[in-house]
Every structure is written in C-alpha cells, then in structure tokens.
Amino acid sequence: MKCSHPPSLPKPITAILSVDLLVRILDHIVDAGDRKSFRLVCDHFLLAESLHRRSLRPLRLKYLPSLLGRRYPSIESLDLSVCHSLDDNSLATAIASGSYWQKLRRVGLARASGVGWKGIEALVTTCPLIEAIDLSHCCEVGDRVAAALAKAAGLRDLRIDKCLGVTDVGLAMVSVGCGRLERLGIKWCMEISDIGIDLLVKKCRNLRVLDLSYLQVTNNSLRAISSLEKFEALSLVGCRFIDDEGLAFLNNGRNSLQSIDISRCQNVTWFGIASVIEGHRNLQIINMGDCHTEVTPAFLSQLSLIKTTLNILKLDGLQISDSGLQNIGSNCNNLIEIGLSKCLGVTDKGIGELVSSCTCLRSIDLTCCHLLTDNVLTAISKYCINLTCLRLEACSLMTEKGFGQIATGCSQLLEIDLTDCSINDIALQHLTKCSELKVLKLGLCANITSKGLAYIGSNCNNLEELDLYRCVEVDDYGLSFLADGCKRLKKLNLCYCIQITNQGLQYLSSLEWLSDLELRGLVNVSSMGITSIAFGCKSLVELDLKGCSSIDDAAMFALARYSLNLRQINISNCSVSGVGLCKLLRTLKCLQDAKLVQLTRTSVEGFEFALRASRCKLKKLKLAGDLMELLSPKLLQMLQARGCRIRWVDKPMLFNSLTIE
Amino acid sequence: MIKASSFGMNFSSEFAEMEQTPWPSEISTSSCSANNSFEHLNLIPSYTPTTSKSFNFNSQAEGSHPRNRSNHQIVKDPNVCWDAKTMLNNLSFLEQKIHNIQGVVHSIVNQKSQISSLPNEFAVQQQVLTTDLTSIIVDLISTAGNLLPSIKNNLFSSNSPPAQSCNSFDPSTQLEADAPFPNHDPPTLEIEKCAGEYNELKKSEDDGREANHIEDHDTKESEDGAETDNLLLGSYEVLQLAKEEILAPHTHFCTICGKGFKRDANLRMHMRGHGEEYKTPAALSKPSKNSEPTLIKRYSCPFVGCKRNKDHKGFQPLKTLLCVKNHYKRTHCDKSYICSKCHSKKFSVLADLKTHEKHCGCDKWLCSCGTTFSRKDKLFGHVALFQGHSPALPSEEGCGLGSSEHVGLEGNGYGFSTNYLNDDVDIKLFDDDRGYLSTLSFEPYEYGVSDDFMKVAFSFMENSPIICPSELSDFGEKKGDSSDSHCML
C-alpha cells in the first residue's frame, strides 16, 4: 500500500514522523500482526521496520538471500528452526549466498534434524561474530557436531538440549574451544557425566547459566560448579544422583547464584535447599517442586534470610499446612510468583494468610488444590491487585460469586486457567470484564454455552488462546461470536465439542492469525469445513483432526493447496485414502510432524507411496506398528537417515479393502 | 643374593674366573672377598671410611653400628671437644640456609599480596618452610652442643640431624666405645626418644612431601614398595647395593660351573646335576629361616641425591631387593625397551614393557596433541592441565566409540524404549556421511509404484467431488514432468 499524497497537503506523515521516531515506536510493537500492519502503512514505515528488525524467523530458506541481503540489513538473530528441508547442503548453499551471514550473532537451529557437522562447521566458519547457537532437540547430533561448534571461539550461549549423541568428549571440545561460554543447556544429553562437567567448569570460568536437567551427574559436579565465580542460575531438574550433600557444596557463597531449580530431584530435601540459601543471600528463584521432602518450619524460617530478593517460589506437589503458608507469607513479602499446584493440605485459610502478606503477587498457581472455595478468590481479589496469571484447574468448589470478585479486583488478569472448574455462563460474564485476557482455559466446563462465548467475543478482544476442550454445549452459533470478537486468536481447542459442524468452521475461517487448531472427534465436520478453514486461516501451523471420521481426501487436497505453512498434522482415524495422504505429504513443504495412525482407508502401498512422495523431509512420524513390517526397509532407513523419528503405535490396523495383494 | 652367600660357599674365585657377564672389577675383588652375608653389599661404604673392611658384619650388635654423621656439615669428632674450623663451617652453612629460607618467605609474602592462585600451594610452601626451620634448629642445637661437652649427652636426643644420623641406629645395639658418648650406660631411653622424635620429624616431612606430590612425576615410585611404612628408625637396617649389583641379570651363581640364576630355588635344582651330595633333602630344602629374629631389612638406592638414597633428607627406604632393582632401572637407567607396537614408548624394566604392550593400541581416548590415553579421566586430566589441548575424535569411523557408549546406556536401563535407542544408534551410523543422502542424489520416484495403486488413485480422482480445475491442470503438468513419470499427482 503506497501512500500517495495529494500535492495540496503541505505536510505528509513522513515529515512529522522521522525514521528514528518510527524506530522508537517500533520498540514497543512486539506482536507480529501489529508489525505487519505497521509495514503496510507506507514505504516510509516499511523502511523504518526493516531498519529496526534485528531478528528473523524465515519459513523458507530460498528467500533468505533477498531478505537478508536487501530488505533487512541489520539482522543479528536468525531462527531457522521452522525452515523446511533444511540440511547440510541447503544450509551451505544459503551461507555461501551472501556476506550478510558475517553479521549474524545468533542462530537458531532447534529441531533442525537434517543439519550435521558439515553444516555447523560451514556456519561457524562463516559467521565470525556468532555468539549464540541453539541446536536443541537435534537428537542425532553427536560429538562431531560438538567438534564443529568448538570452532566458534566467541560463543557465549549454547543450547544442545537432547542432543543425545553428545558425550563428555563433545562437551570437552566445546569447553576448550568456547572458553567464553556463559550460558549452556545440556539437558537430556544423557551421556554427559561428572568428568565432562568438571572440565567445563575448569575451562569456561565465565559460565553464568547452566542447565543439567535429567543428567546422571552427581555431587562431584556441584562441587566443581561451586567454584564458578560468575555463576547465576542452575537447573537440576530430575537429577537423581544429586542430594543434600551436593547442594551443601554450593554453600560456599563464592558465586552470586540467583536461581536454582531442583524440582523432581528425588534425593534432595529441604535441608539441602536451606544450605543453599545459607550461602546465597541473593537467591531470587527457587523451584523445589516434586522433591520428596516436606516443608518444615525450619526451612521456612531459613527463607527469611532471602526475604528481600526471593521472587519466585515453586512448591508443587509438596505438603503444606496453613501455618506453613502463613510463614511463607510473612517471610517472603516480595514474592511475585508462587506455585502450589497439587500441594496437599492447602486450604482457604492458608492461602488467605499468604496473599494478605504477599501483595505483589502476579502469578498464583493453585492447580488441583481441591479444597479451595470462593473465600480464596475473595482474598486474592482483595490483596493481589496486580495479578496477571491465575491457575485454578480442578478447583471445582468455586462459584460465579468468587469469579465476580476476581474480575473486579484483578482487572489486569492476562491468563486464567479454569479447566474442570465446572463454571457457567454467569461466571464467564463476570470474568470477561478482564478485557486484557489473553489466555483463557475452559476445558471440561460442560455448562458453557453460546451465551458464554458471546460474552467472550464481545469483551476479550485481545484473546490469543482459548481452550474449550469437551465443552459439549458449545455450538456453531457460539463460534460466530468468537470469530467476530477475538480476531487475535492464535490457539483454539475445540476437541470433542460435538455440536460443531461445517458452519462453525466457516465462521472460524475469518481468524487470520489462527495458527493452532484442535478439532478432535468432531464427527459432524466434513471436508467442506476443513476446506473453509484451510482457505481462511492462512497462518495455520498445527492442525489436529484425529477422529473426525467424516473427513476425507477432499480436505487433504484443500490443505495441500492453501495451508502452505502447516507444520503439524494429525489425521488419525480420518477417512483419508492413499491419494489424499500422498497429495498432502507431497505438496506441503513445511510439514514436519504427521500422525497417521488408523487410516483405515489407506493401503500399505498408499503409505509407502505417500512417504516416498514426502521426500523424507518429515521430522516426526507416528505410524501403526503393523506397518513396520509392511513398509519397505529402504524407505524406513532413508527416513531415519534424514533425521525422521518414527513412533510405532501398537493399535490393530485395518487396511483398505482395496489393497491388492 | 644374600641367600646365596648364606650357603657359606666360597665361590669368589670361580666367580672371578668364569664371569658370565662383564662384572666390574670392584665387585669381584672387594665385595666378594669374605663369606659373610653382607660382604658384597657395600654397606654404607662412603660414609664409614674407617670401619668398613674390618667390621665383622655377622655380629649384629656391631653390624648396625656405623653411625655416620659425616655427610652432614656437622662433623663430629669424639676426641676433640670442638673444632673451630668445623664450627665456622657449620655457622656459615646455617647462615646460608637461613638466607635461603628468607628468600622463600619473601616469595610467599609476594604471592599473598597478589590474589592467591592455589590455596594448596601456600600450604605446601608452609610445610617446606617448617621442615627447613626444624632442621636449622636441630643443626643449631647440635652445633651448640659441640661447645658444651658436659651437656652433649643430654642433647644427643635432639642434636642428631634426623634423617642422616639415625639411619642405622639400632636400639638393641650395644654402643661402641668410640661412640661419642662419654657416658657408657646404655642410653636406651634417649635412643627411644630419638626414634620417636625422628618419626615425628619424618612425619612432618612426609606431609610436606605428600603435598608436594604433584611435582613428583615418577608415579612408579609408589610401586617400588617403598611407601613409607611407619617403621621406627633403627628398627630396620639399611642396605645399599652397588649399581652393578642391581643391574646384574643373575644373582645366584653355581659355584661349580658358574651358571647364573635369578632364583635360589632354581640354583638348588641346578646343583643336583653336580653330584649326589646336592640331592639330599637338606641341600634341596629352602635354607631354614631358623635363627634369631632377624632385623627387618630396608634398602637404599646407590644413586646419590635420589630420595631413595639413605643420605637424602627425606629418605624413603625401599622394601625389597626387587623394589631396588625396579626403582634403579626405572629412575636411573636408560629406557632401552621400546614398544614394538607404537615404537614410541620406552621402558627400562622388561615387565613394564610387557604390561604396556598388552594394552598398547587400545588407547581410544585421543587428545588433539596426538597423545592417546587408555582412560577417559586421564585424557580429561591432561586436557585440563594443558591450555589449548582438547579431546579429539578418531579420524576414521568414530562410531565404535559412540555405539559402545550406547550399549552402556541401554544397560543402565534409562527410560528409553529399545526402539528409541535403536533409532538413535542407527542414526549415529549416518552421522559422518550425511552427505551421501543429499537432496540432489535422492530421488523418491525411483521406486516403482504398482499400477494397481495407480488405478485406484485414478478412480478416486475421477470421482472426487471438489477437485478444482486448477488442481487438474496441476496434475496435467506434473504428468508431463519427466522426473515424476510414475506419479500421477
């Protein structure tokens, strides 16, 4: 859209808003849609936006040269995790295409399962300034890739979560090569042990953030880590060999630890955490959820040592008495976030005491605290006026009265989880007064009808995520309100809302930004409805059609034609045949994850042909276990070699009767 | 070799004539002259110049007598109260020593002013300092003791510089008349005291040594069996063999034919061939251990300056003759055995070579500098020590390493399904050669698709209700495409 100014107007908008002013405005525009609108104003705005943009997440590699080379000169951060068919060759070609790669500082390659050490080596040698690389969930990445990474001497931030092939040797190479490393994530790298951590600590003295979750490391690693002087955040989720003795090593107070996450460590008790607190008076975040420990008065009094700094405390799954909650309230006044999900023994009285002292609370998680009633909501609405996030899943004793108070007291609420709270339309009417709501979860609230959705549609214009799982009363008419009012909706869950038909989906097709749509078990929806969704919702990335038994090949053709950005699809139990499947897999270049179980109308040859037609670009595949024998071994080998992980599901499979033996 | 001589056989002449190996003359003449058990052990030869030959070593009481302090700067002459010249020497020595310590303290002060690098290092230095100061004090007292003959005796317990003077002191020994004690009463009390003190001093020295251990690269030392057993000083006697003795291939020689043997038992077997008299059970049986409880023997290395040498300040005796041999060869000899596999590792003890050859080539842990290690922790220790070194991957197929680890993982029973693991291993095999599956070379349509499937597909296409015209034209185009010739979509 080009602005053409009639010559009679003396001052065009460009004269008033110079580029640097526009750039300043852009600092405050985060949402992708808003930025798009901004770009479309005029050339001048477009220029400002392209100058301002620092990060890019391209969907297709082939446009990268023109994007990076001409349009966005100041890109520093490039996320290639959603680029389709990314492998060593295409990456090398892209890197060779221009000098702009040399300016890159951050590169994201999460789940880029096709990229190997050659690609990484090319990347690292081409980008001398590179500071951050994300390779998480590239499961087949091994020591050879680590060796390539080690050549990036300036690397500060590295994530190799779930790179299953990385061993101590790989980590050691990275430690030696990247001595300036500050943040490292090696979660789920199951072959890394104490010896690797020890060397890491010796070589990378600037380490600040370390994620060792689910590793087999022992206390010796903690002893080594305790010598790091700049250390700030440690994550030890599910480290079963860590115990209190190890945490006592951190007690030396030599570093400025701010955050510690030891949730799901079986052998850690409150005593170990107390000793950490003893040594680190600046601790801000403690997550000790699901540790097999109890919350003793001694521990709570220890919390008073970090009274001023503690912001986030998570005690999920522990047993806490009323007096314990009262103690937390009096000892930690500055709490911003508290997690009490699945805590036993949490009552109205305790929460009342807690919130009356912690008035800064912004996020409260009370998931599965079954005993809580409206009194809690009254207390929260009275004291926590800044509350933005409230999770009340399965707190079924709460009524519309309480929610009315929440709506008046906590008007800044952004996120509320009411799954399984069996709330009704009246409660929803109250809650929708919080017009800033972005996330609303109403799963399993069978009482909600179109009336409730009308309240949502008319009040919550900023809603981005709505969960209506098994809200069986919801019908097409209700969806029309959503489609009219919540134009920003990105995620929508309508699973098992069985009254919905093609008409409802027709309404939803006006949601331009919808990226995530779950339509499980909607038996009344046919290919027609999916076609309208595919046509209207251009941003669709994830689609779940499991058990929509009326959906056939026509829907696949429509998706193949219009939903070019589709990355994940579940068409298990649909009436899709080999032809539709073939068309889908062949045409959708971005498709990465496909769940294809119990496609009773698809023959084995249909599978074989469709998977071959996909050019093996899929990263994740779910297939019936019987197919393991029936598909050609060469195909399976090819798929796996391209980085595709196949999950075989053992479900009885009925093949298409048209299968010709 | 001691046992051989205890047979009481005079073989010196034969030995001299029929030497199988080139024996240095010194041994054949001087040390094999008498048939006592210690004759060819040069028992502390250098420091007992006046006594060595005339001593009757069979007598235990006297055998342990030589008490040599001469190596130390404090030379004590029992006949003269004190010698001005010696005194001067002593004092200047002390001065020098104090000066040295001053230097050390200076350096410590400097280090402290900076940020202390290693807390360990400071402790080590302190230990060394303490040891040095102790020895100075001892020296000082002993020097002063010379001036005052009347209190000399009382001071003895403290004036003997620990490691040197008390070496061969035996509490059970009767003291010789020429010992520097005017008082002839058996000074057992003092001696015990002396031993105790010596032990204390020694302990402190040991501590120091332990702290210093990083610098001690000869890790084999501990295998020499010389780790300090807490023997009381003087409860054992120190023997020192000449280096030629140590290096001799055989230690037991037939008195008749001169053939050499490594073991006495073998010699006895051999002797049977020389006549009936050697076949008697008495001759064949192991010489009885009979006799009085013998003194525990400890050995000293003849290499001056070695810490296994009895004159070394922190003398650590060697336990057995084998230890002496291995120690001497490992530490003071050329490494003449070269590994036939790697042609780089050298050894001076044959057994070491054999041990190495057993494992040579199995080193799978490789450093970027080319060094290989048999154990991962050794490699990581090496990498931690040297700046810029990094573990390296084997140049060719690295999968052996990885897959073995995977097996280990499976063994540990981690929450992976077997499927999961297999996938992983399979993928690993492709890790290196991903290139061969490039997009260009991969053509999905090379597999034939059966005509029947086509038929079905076509029939569907014809009946399909919502296929738009563009879809059909799309199909038409694709059909003409040569690469997609089998495919109708």
Compute the mean pLDDT over every residue in chain A, rounded to the nearest whole number: 90
> What is the number of CB-based contacts under 8 A between chain A and chain B?
155
Instruction: Say if A241 is an interface residue toward chain B (CB within 8 Å).
Output: no
CA distances from A453 to A429, A463, A477, A489, B219 (A): 9, 12, 9, 13, 79
CB contact under 8 A, A612 and B445: yes
Strand partners, A313: A286, A338
Give the span between the Cα atoms of A545 and A496, in whole angstroms.
11
Give the span between the Cα atoms of A541 and A591, in whole angstroms.
9
pTM value is 0.65
Instruction: Say if B467 is an interface residue toward chain A (CB within 8 Å).
Output: yes
ipTM of this model? Answer: 0.84
Tell me the pLDDT tens digit for each residue of A216-252. Answer: 999 999 999 999 999 999 999 999 999 999 999 988 8
Give the span between the Cα atoms of B461 and A232, in whole angstroms.
62
Within 479-518 of A, beta carbons closer than 8 Å to B belong to none
Distance from CA of B417 to the nearest CA of A (A): 11
Strand partners, A319: A344
CB contact under 8 A, B464 and A168: no
The better pLDDT of the pair B305, A134 is held by: A134
Predicted pLDDT of residue B442: 39
CA distances from B46 to B43, B50, B76 (A): 9, 10, 16
Tell me the pLDDT tens digit for each residue of A526-538. Answer: 999 999 999 999 9
- For tokens 């009639």, the residue is A6
Over range A194-208, report the average pLDDT.
95
CB contact under 8 A, A143 and B398: yes
Residue of A90, A145, A176 to mutate when probing chain B, most B C-beta within 10 A: A176
- Cβ proximity of A265 and A240 under 8 Å: yes
Predicted pLDDT of residue B452: 47
- Cβ proximity of A224 and A198 under 8 Å: yes
CB contact under 8 A, B439 and A177: no
Distance from CA of A82 to the nearest CA of B (A): 18
At B138, phi and psi to the nearest 5? -60, -45
Instruction: Name the residue in chain A with its Cα closest to that of B382.
Output: A199
Q: Which residues of B touch A90 (CB under 8 A)?
A: 439
Give the span between the Cα atoms of B413 and B105, in whole angstroms.
57
Q: pLDDT band at A380, cuts 50/70/90?
A: very high
- In this model, does residue A287 exceed pLDDT 90? yes
Q: Which residues of A touch B376 (CB under 8 A)?
A: 168-169, 195
Give the span between the Cα atoms of B195 and B133, in whole angstroms.
20
Instruction: Say if B395 is an interface residue toward chain A (CB within 8 Å).
Output: no
Residue of A528, A609, A629, A632 to mutate when probing chain B, most B C-beta within 10 A: A609
Strand A439-441 relative to strand A415-417, pairing: parallel
Distance from CA of B421 to the nearest CA of A (A): 10
Closest CB to B437: pick one of A196, A199, A642.
A642
- For tokens 């030891």, the residue is A262
Distance from CA of A507 to the nearest CA of B (A): 20
HSE toward the beta carbon, residue B220, CA cutoff 13 A: 16
Within 442-481 of A, beta carbons closer than 8 Å to B belong to none
Predicted pLDDT of residue A486: 94
Tell me the pLDDT tens digit for each residue of B113-161. Answer: 665 455 566 777 778 788 888 888 877 777 776 666 544 444 444 444 4
CB contact under 8 A, A88 and B434: yes
Predicted pLDDT of residue A655: 53
Predicted pLDDT of residue A479: 95
- For tokens 């009390």, the residue is B189
Closest CB to A640: pick one of B365, B401, B426.
B426
Please identify every stretch of chain B with a pLDDT value under 50, giving residue numbers as ranges: 1-80, 116, 150-228, 396-489
Predicted pLDDT of residue B149: 53
Tell me the pLDDT tens digit for each residue of A19-28. Answer: 888 888 999 9
Over range A493-520, report the average pLDDT.
95
Q: In sequence order, which residues have a C-beta less than 8 Å from that of residue B374 and are 6 or more positions away?
A: B359, B362, B363, B364, B365
Predicted pLDDT of residue A292: 87
Long-range contacts of B458-464 (CB under 8 A, 24+ apart): B458/B488, B460/A553, B460/A577, B460/A579, B461/A579, B461/B488, B464/A553, B464/A554, B464/A557
The share of chain A scoring above pLDDT 90, in percent, equals: 70
HEC profile for A482-496? HHHHCCCCCEEECCC
CB contact under 8 A, B427 and A140: yes
CA distances from A236 to A118, A134, A216, A242, A247 (A): 32, 20, 10, 8, 11
Q: Which residues of A touch B407 (CB under 8 A)?
A: none
CB contact under 8 A, A632 and B456: no
- Cβ proximity of B441 and A87 under 8 Å: no
Q: Which residues of B touch A616 (CB under 8 A)?
A: 442, 444
**Left if phi > 0, otherwise alpha if psi is -120 to 50, otherwise beta: which for A573?**
left
Q: State which amino acid sits at residue A130.
A: I
Tell me the pLDDT tens digit for each residue of A569-617. Answer: 999 999 999 999 999 999 998 899 999 998 889 999 999 999 999 887 8
Q: What is the CA radius of gyration of chain B?
A: 38
Give the span between the Cα atoms of B489 and A613, in whole angstroms.
10
Q: In sequence order, which residues have a C-beta less than 8 Å from that of residue A601 and are 6 or more positions away?
A: A552, A575, A576, A577, A656
Closest CB to A144: pick one of B393, B450, B466.
B393
Give the span between the Cα atoms of A495 and A468, in whole angstroms.
7
HEC profile for chain B? CHHHHHCCCCCHHHHHHCCCCCCCHHHHHHHCCCCCCCCCCCCCCCCCCCCCCCCCCCCHHHHCCCCCCCCCCCCCCCCCCCCHHHHHHHHHHHHHHHHHHHHHHHHHHHHHHCCCCCHHHHHHHHHHHHHHHHHHHHHHHHHHHHHCHHHHHHHHHHHCCHHHHCCCCCCCCCCCCCCCCCCCCCCHHHHHHHHHHHHHHHHHHHHHHHHHHHHCCCHHHHHHCCCCCCCCCCCEEEEECCHHHHHCCCCEECCCCCCEECCHHHHHHHHHHHCHHHCCHHHHCCCCCCCCCCCEEEEECCCCCCCCCCCCCCCCCECCHHHHHHHHHHHHCCCCEECCCCCCCEECCHHHHHHHHHHCCCCCEEECCCCEECCHHHHHHHHHHCCCCCEECCCCCCHHHHHHHHHHHHHHCCCCCHHHHHHHHHHHHHHCCHHHHCCCCCCHHHCCCCHHHHHHHHHHHHHCCCCCHHHHHHHHHHHHCCCCCCCCC
Over range A431-436, report the average pLDDT.
92
Closest CB to A553: pick one of B414, B444, B460.
B460
Instruction: Say if B477 is an interface residue toward chain A (CB within 8 Å).
Output: no
Closest CB to B380: pick one of A88, A89, A172.
A172
Distance of CA A633 to the CA centre of its chain: 35
Instruction: Say if A9 is an interface residue toward chain B (CB within 8 Å).
Output: no
- In this model, does residue A567 exceed pLDDT 90? yes
Long-range contacts of A63-66 (CB under 8 A, 24+ apart): A64/A94, A64/A97, A65/A94, A65/A97, A65/A98
Distance from CA of A56 to the nearest CA of B (A): 25
Give the span between the Cα atoms of A116 and A90, in whole angstroms.
12
Q: Which residues of A touch B430 (CB under 8 A)?
A: 140, 640-641
Q: Which residues of A touch B444 (CB under 8 A)?
A: 612-616
Predicted pLDDT of residue A516: 96
Within 317-376 of A, beta carbons closer than 8 Å to B belong to none
Within 396-435 of B, beta carbons closer than 8 Å to A belong to 398, 401-402, 405, 409, 412, 414, 419, 423-424, 426-428, 430-432, 434-435
**Residue A360: DSSP 8-state:** T
Predicted pLDDT of residue A448: 94
Burial class (CB in 10 A: 0-12, 13-18, 19+), A156: buried
Instruction: Say if B448 is an interface residue toward chain A (CB within 8 Å).
Output: no
Q: pLDDT band at A658, cuts 50/70/90?
A: very low
Distance from CA of A173 to the nearest CA of B (A): 6
- In this model, does residue A478 exceed pLDDT 50? yes
Distance from CA of B489 to the nearest CA of A (A): 7
Instruction: Say if A579 is an interface residue toward chain B (CB within 8 Å).
Output: yes
Give the angle A199-A200-A205 at the CA atoms, nearest 5°. 115
Distance from CA of A378 to the nearest CA of B (A): 44
Within 141-200 of A, beta carbons closer than 8 Å to B belong to 142-144, 147, 150, 164-165, 167-169, 172-173, 176-177, 190-191, 195-196, 198-199
Instruction: Name the residue in chain B with its Cα closest to that of A163.
Output: B424
